[in-house]
């Protein structure tokens, strides 16, 4: 890689050992992807829940936190993805205190580095929205795909250690979606059935993600004749990124780099893959069960917006969750405070549902939580969550928000 004087100084150790280690790691990745040089980034977003970090990762962060402040402080605004434990509600869900203690250590280490603990995967809805053309180092697949696609910003998937390296160096190797040539469409999908709710937007995204090959494939979607909301596109993108390894999509007439189909293809567009109502039914059927047993209902992945919380609050107001079922909701600290101020939290909590902050269900030792609470059958409106959670020993059911809530109240899956 070509390095400028600042980068050469970092590599030589003139700006401290932490930045030297960070840039060495970044150069290895840059060489792997044939990056020619670095690009400065405006923000970094770090995924570092303790389930992923483990003891080894937390010790790594603590060692970094113990280095001299001149060496270890992040040099661009740096925020965090959902954490592995909610310090307020962990007892209610029998979360192992050992994991909570580990989470506290990670939290303190990050604060010592100058990281802003936003604990969110919906920073684009609640912290600072990206700007078209802005180069970023975003560390959550849902955040990456939304930033690239809906805002036209430029970021690759930056895993925790990599986003932290970018936070320390203020740059990232220029490869992948930082480059114009990788932002054109490679596949075309034609939607015949308009998604009607968040679970259907997620299912559509999941269907397309499942069809994707390598990270460099960019799906283009035509045939959407409604204007999706931010939450619609949030579920759509998060599921696509989860089922695939997809970091950018274009939606013709809706996303900024795709005013027309011609704008996102070089030459003649490929023949479209038509997605029918039957395809969507088949997708939902993958996550349906023959019986109506139910243990836990989860609204998460991504964290809920204020509007999603409002809809849930209205559905739960005056209701009581069945004693055999748990209903868990994950949002970020900003929306939790807002929900408290606006009376939504009372409507939600009054039903027996648990509103967690700064976490996401699959990032908080979901396997151990399942064992501690005897949870196997899980119902959710998140297509992203059903994709992830079977690996943790759950039997996931995908349905819309209303049916999920009605099922939690009935204590069994309501069809």
| Residue ranges binding other proteins (CB under 8 A) | 25, 28-29, 31-33, 47-49, 51-57, 60, 139-141, 156-162, 175-176, 213-216, 241-245, 362-363, 367, 387-388, 390-393
Q: How far is the CB of 202 from other proteins (least distance, A)?
A: 15
Per-residue tokens: 284: 């939902």
C-beta of 353 vs 366, nearer to other proteins: 366
Per-residue tokens: 187: 């596949």
Per-residue tokens: 266: 């070089």
Q: How far is the CB of 313 from other proteins (least distance, A)?
A: 29
Q: What stretch of H or E contains 201?
A: helix 198-211
Q: How far is the CB of 55 from other proteins (least distance, A)?
A: 7
Q: How far is the CB of 51 from other proteins (least distance, A)?
A: 8
Q: How far is the CB of 174 from other proteins (least distance, A)?
A: 12
Instruction: Enter the DSSP assignment of 94.
Output: T
Q: How far is the CB of 121 from other proteins (least distance, A)?
A: 10
Distance of alpha carbon 228 from alpha carbon 205, whole angstroms: 13
Nearest to 40 by CA among 70, 10, 71, 82: 10
C-beta of 147 vs 351, nearer to other proteins: 147
Distance of alpha carbon 10 from alpha carbon 27, whole angstroms: 12
Per-residue tokens: 311: 């809809």
Q: How far is the CB of 361 from other proteins (least distance, A)?
A: 13
Q: What angle do CA 98, 365, 46 make, to 5 degrees?
A: 95
Distance of alpha carbon 354 from alpha carbon 170, whole angstroms: 38
- What does the DSSP assignment read for 129-148? ---TT-B-B--SHHHHHHHH
User: Do β-strands 44-46 and 187-191 pair in parallel, antiparallel, or remain unpaired?
Assistant: unpaired
C-beta of 47 vs 115, nearer to other proteins: 47
Q: Kindly report the backbone phi and psi dihedral angles of residue 246, in degrees, each rounded to the nearest multiple of 5, phi listed first.
A: -100, 135
C-beta of 277 vs 282, nearer to other proteins: 282
- What does the DSSP assignment read for 13-70? TTT-HHHHHHHHHHHHHHHHTT--SEEE-S-EEE---HHHHHHHHHHHHHHHHTS-HH
User: Is the separation of the CB atoms in 157 and 37 below 8 Å?
Assistant: no
Q: What stretch of H or E contains 398?
A: strand 395-398
C-beta of 48 vs 329, nearer to other proteins: 48
C-beta of 160 vs 228, nearer to other proteins: 160
C-beta of 84 vs 224, nearer to other proteins: 84
Q: How far is the CB of 135 from other proteins (least distance, A)?
A: 14
Q: Give the count of beta carbons closer than 10 Å to the beta carbon of residue 408.
A: 30
C-beta of 283 vs 321, nearer to other proteins: 283
User: Is the separation of the CB atoms in 242 and 387 below 8 Å?
Assistant: yes
Q: How far is the CB of 162 from other proteins (least distance, A)?
A: 4
C-beta of 58 vs 404, nearer to other proteins: 58
C-beta of 84 vs 152, nearer to other proteins: 84
Residues forming a β-bridge with 220? 188, 250
Q: How far is the CB of 253 from other proteins (least distance, A)?
A: 29
């Amino acid at each position: 890689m070509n390095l400028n004087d600042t980068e050469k100084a970092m590599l030589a150790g003139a700006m401290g050992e932490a930045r030297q280690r960070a840039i060495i790691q970044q150069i290895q990745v840059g060489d792997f992807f044939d990056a020619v040089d670095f690009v400065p980034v405006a923000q970094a977003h770090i995924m570092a829940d303790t389930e992923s970090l483990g003891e080894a990762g937390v010790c790594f962060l603590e060692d970094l936190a113990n280095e001299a402040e001149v060496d270890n402080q992040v040099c661009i605004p740096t925020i965090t993805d959902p954490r592995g434990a909610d310090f307020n509600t962990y007892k209610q869900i029998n979360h192992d205190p050992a994991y909570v203690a580990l989470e506290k250590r990670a939290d303190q280490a990050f604060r010592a580095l100058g990281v802003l603990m936003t604990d969110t995967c919906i920073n684009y809805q609640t912290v600072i929205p990206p700007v078209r053309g802005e180069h970023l180092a975003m560390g959550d697949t849902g955040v990456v795909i939304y930033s690239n696609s809906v805002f036209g910003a430029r970021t690759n998937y930056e895993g925790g250690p990599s986003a932290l390296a970018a936070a320390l160096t203020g740059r990232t190797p220029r490869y992948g979606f930082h480059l114009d040539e990788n932002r054109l469409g490679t596949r075309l999908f034609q939607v015949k059935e308009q998604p009607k709710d968040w679970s259907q937007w997620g299912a559509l995204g999941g269907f397309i993600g499942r069809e994707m090959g390598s990270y460099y494939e960019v799906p283009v979607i035509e045939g959407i004749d409604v204007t999706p909301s931010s939450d619609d596109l949030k579920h759509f993108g998060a599921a696509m990124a989860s089922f695939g390894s997809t970091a950018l999509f274009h939606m013709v007439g809706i996303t900024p780099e795709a005013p027309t189909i011609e704008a996102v293809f070089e030459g003649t567009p490929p023949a479209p893959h038509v997605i029918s109502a039957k395809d969507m039914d088949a997708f939902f059927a993958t996550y349906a069960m023959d019986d109506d047993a139910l243990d836990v209902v989860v609204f998460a992945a991504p964290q809920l917006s204020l509007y999603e919380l409002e809809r849930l609050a209205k559905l739960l107001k005056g209701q009581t969750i069945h004693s055999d079922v748990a209903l868990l909701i994950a949002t970020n600290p900003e929306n939790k405070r807002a929900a408290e101020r606006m009376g939504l939290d009372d409507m939600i909590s009054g039903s027996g549902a648990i509103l967690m902050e700064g976490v996401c269900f699959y990032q908080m030792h979901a396997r151990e939580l399942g064992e501690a609470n005897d949870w196997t059958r899980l119902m959710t409106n998140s297509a992203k969550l059903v994709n992830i959670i079977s690996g943790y020993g759950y039997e996931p059911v995908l349905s819309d928000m209303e049916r999920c809530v009605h099922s939690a109240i009935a204590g069994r899956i309501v069809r």
